[in-house]
Amino acid sequence: MFRGFLKKRWYFYVLGIVALIIIDLLQLFVPKVISKAVNTLRVVKSVDEIKVFVYSILGLALGMLVGRFWWRYFIMGSSRFFDYEAKRFLFDKILSLDMYFFDKHRSGDIMAYFTNDVSMVERMLGIGVVQLTDALFMTFTTVFFMASSTNWRLTLTALSPLPGIILISSTFGRLIFKRSRKVQDVYSDLSGFTEETIDGIRVIKSFSILPKIEQIFSEKAKEHFKATISLIRVWGIMWPLIHFVGTLAYFLALTVGGPMVVKGTVSLGDFIAFNSYIGMLIWPLTAYGMVMNVIQQGRASLQRLNELLSIEPLVKEPENPQPLKRIEEIRVQGLTFRYPNTDREVLKSVDFEVKKGQFVGIVGTVGSGKSTLVKLISKLYPVERGRIFINGIDINDLNSKDIRRLISYVPQETFLFSTSVTENVAFAMSTFDFEKVREMVKLAAVEEDVEKFPNKYDTVVGQRGVMLSGGQKQRLTIARALMRKADVYIFDDCLSAVDPETEEEIIRTLREKMRGTTMIIITHRLKVLQNADVIYVFDDGRIIEKGTHFELIQKDGLYARMFKKQLVAEMGDVL
């Protein structure tokens, strides 16, 4: 990313630096003009004789005005372009990563890359380049102009503290780099916790744990404060030291140069110009310390960005993927899976089969691997031990986009965007018919609720659907999945917040309206699976039973016990 940016914009930086150097040169000629004007004033006989100096200074000022526009345009404009390119590049990179990355990183941590790290690199490429150019060019050129105004003895005496600036900047620069990285890491953690707190504010309030959350936030904010103060302390020591060393030049200039003016060795105009150059030299010497800070912070952020960009998705795409037009069959053989960096096997030697048009149920104990199986079928995680075949083709030989284009998956976790009902339901569609939205909403048994909303289909549901009940959110996510014409629909326990009667009605309606379409339903309410073609029963990562509802009841195994337990619970509710 960084090298690609430099290849695109290097000539902008060259032009910007040239403009900056021209400005610096024009600025250095101003004391020269003033020196001649002062010396001329001692012998001038007419005001007209000094007009040339006035016009010269005005011309230099106009030249600097034009130059400043161009260096800002080329250098600062390029740094803004980096901000745009980097955020776009990062966004594309993050979208290309698989679910493991998002399981491992909080959204606040990811946002810190966009808000904090990109900004730090942008500063390095903008004001950092300007300060570095000024520090290097102005330092050496000013020394030359100072010597030409007076003599080398006075110049070398006044500038003898200069090596101290380099020593201070180099020493403190390393500390700044380490502490900048610490600040950015702590900031990422703080922003992640803040975002989680805002997202879960209703849960936090309902459990009355605000004091606990405030304490955790206070500790994280304090850690960020300490890291920032630690950085500021280093910067705060470095800055005055650089100023002190730079100001010593005035002391030495007056001590050595004053007697020279009195003796007539150096003219008054040249001595005034010399002191003006010292004033000009203070800035680049100070800028040297500042630019070290900017560069070290930029380096720390660039390192973080490169670490993110170096992450490769665990789900690899084949170089020459097999074409996939339809899904006729899904077959799983000996599938064993554990999530990356964990020891527990979530799935153990699983054999599973789905044929076109089947209604397949998946049930089992909590944490038995039901959801993991359908995620693997959707190629959200890599298949390493065992095989998954779609139409007889190994899933590793198929492109993820082709698979997901033909599978409409509704996960357990509902997610709605802070936009209207219509836009949420039609989210995956580039074009859509409003009547189809109404049809899918009706099919998901949420039409009656939507009609009661303040603005009906134009009602904004709030962030993550905060304005809706759990059941309403689940049914709208089902409507969104139904908008897509898919070969396989997977419903992963996505009706848990809906009452049993409504769930049965939705499943029955879907079966009637979508005959010939493959449906895989994960649920803990077994009554809705009585008409399933086949039911798989999971326990501790294994399929321990398989059959129709009535076959499994006759086996009197785990499924039968679960079903009887639910019947007893329902009878108790009735009584």
**268-309 and 118-125 helices, crossing angle to 10°:** 150
- pLDDT per residue over 546-561, tens digit each? 998 888 888 888 888 8
Question: What band does 423 get if pLDDT is binned at 50, 70 and 90?
Answer: confident
What is residue 575's predicted lDDT score, i.e. its pLDDT? 45
Same domain, 344 and 223: no
Kindly state the percentage of the chain with pLDDT values over 70: 93
Same domain, 165 and 257: yes
The backbone region for 504, taken as left when phi is positive above 0, alpha when psi lies in -120 to 50, beta otherwise, is: alpha
Q: Domain holding 352: CATH number?
A: 3.40.50.300
pLDDT of 81 over the 60 cut: yes
Residue where one domain finishes, among candidates 246, 276, 309: 309
- Asked whether the beta carbons of 26 and 64 are under 8 A apart, the reply is yes
Same domain, 305 and 335: no
Mean pLDDT of the 132-156 span = 80
pLDDT of 50 over the 60 cut: yes
Same domain, 333 and 297: no
- pLDDT per residue over 495-523, tens digit each? 776 777 777 778 888 787 777 888 898 88
Domain membership flag for residue 152 = yes
What is residue 188's predicted lDDT score, i.e. its pLDDT? 75
Same domain, 296 and 378: no
pLDDT of 465 over the 80 cut: no
Q: Distance between alpha carbon 52 and the CA centroid of its chain, in Å?
A: 57
What is residue 497's predicted lDDT score, i.e. its pLDDT? 67
Domain membership flag for residue 456 = no
pTM above 0.75, yes or no: no
Domain count, the chain: 2
Same domain, 301 and 344: no
Q: Is 308 exposed, middle or buried (0-12, 13-18, 19+ CB in 10 A)?
A: middle
Cβ atoms within 10 A of the Cβ of 278, count? 23
pLDDT of 181 over the 80 cut: no
Mean pLDDT of the 456-475 span = 76
Same domain, 359 and 305: no
Mean pLDDT of the 374-401 span = 88
Question: What band does 130 get if pLDDT is binned at 50, 70 and 90?
Answer: confident
Question: What band does 236 get if pLDDT is binned at 50, 70 and 90?
Answer: confident
Q: How many helices (H) and strands (E) does the chain have?
A: 22, 10
Domain membership flag for residue 315 = no
Residue where one domain finishes, among candidates 309, 338, 355: 309
Distance, in Å, from the CA atom of 198 to the CA atom of 416, rounded to the nearest integer, reads 16
From the list 23, 111, 34, the residue with the least C-alpha distance to 70 is 23
Could you tell me the residue range of the domain that residue 401 belongs to? 329-415+484-574
What is residue 536's predicted lDDT score, i.e. its pLDDT? 92
What is residue 389's predicted lDDT score, i.e. its pLDDT? 92
Residue where one domain finishes, among candidates 281, 309, 337: 309
Domain membership flag for residue 366 = yes
Mean pLDDT of the 347-371 span = 88
Mean pLDDT of the chain: 81
Same domain, 113 and 201: yes
Kindly state the percentage of the chain with pLDDT values over 90: 2
Same domain, 163 and 89: yes
Same domain, 350 and 490: yes
pLDDT of 573 over the 60 cut: no
43 compared with 325, residue with greater pLDDT: 325
pLDDT of 220 over the 80 cut: yes
Same domain, 239 and 365: no
- Asked whether the beta carbons of 373 and 362 are under 8 A apart, the reply is yes
From the list 404, 384, 406, the residue with the least C-alpha distance to 394 is 384
The residues, ordered by sequence, that sit 6+ positions from 19 with a Cβ below 8 Å of its Cβ are 67, 68, 70, 71, 74
Distance, in Å, from the CA atom of 372 to the CA atom of 421, rounded to the nearest integer, reads 29
Distance, in Å, from the CA atom of 369 to the CA atom of 348, rounded to the nearest integer, reads 9
Domain membership flag for residue 154 = yes
Backbone angles phi, psi at 462, to 5 degrees: 85, 170
pLDDT of 74 over the 80 cut: yes
Domain membership flag for residue 411 = yes
pLDDT of 286 over the 70 cut: no
Backbone angles phi, psi at 318, to 5 degrees: -70, 150
pLDDT of 42 over the 80 cut: no
Q: Domain holding 151: CATH number?
A: 1.20.1560.10
pLDDT of 82 over the 70 cut: yes
Mean pLDDT of the 141-154 span = 79
Classify strands 393-394 and 329-337 as parallel, antiparallel or unpaired: unpaired
Domain membership flag for residue 324 = no
What is residue 572's predicted lDDT score, i.e. its pLDDT? 59
pLDDT of 182 over the 60 cut: yes
Q: Which of 228-242, 413-427, 515-529 has the lowest mean pLDDT?
A: 413-427
Same domain, 276 and 363: no
Domain membership flag for residue 226 = yes
One DSSP character per residue, 164-233 reads HHHHHHHHHHHHHHHHHHHHHHHHHHHHHHHHHHHHTHHHHHHTT-HHHHHHHHHHHHHHHHHHHHHHHH
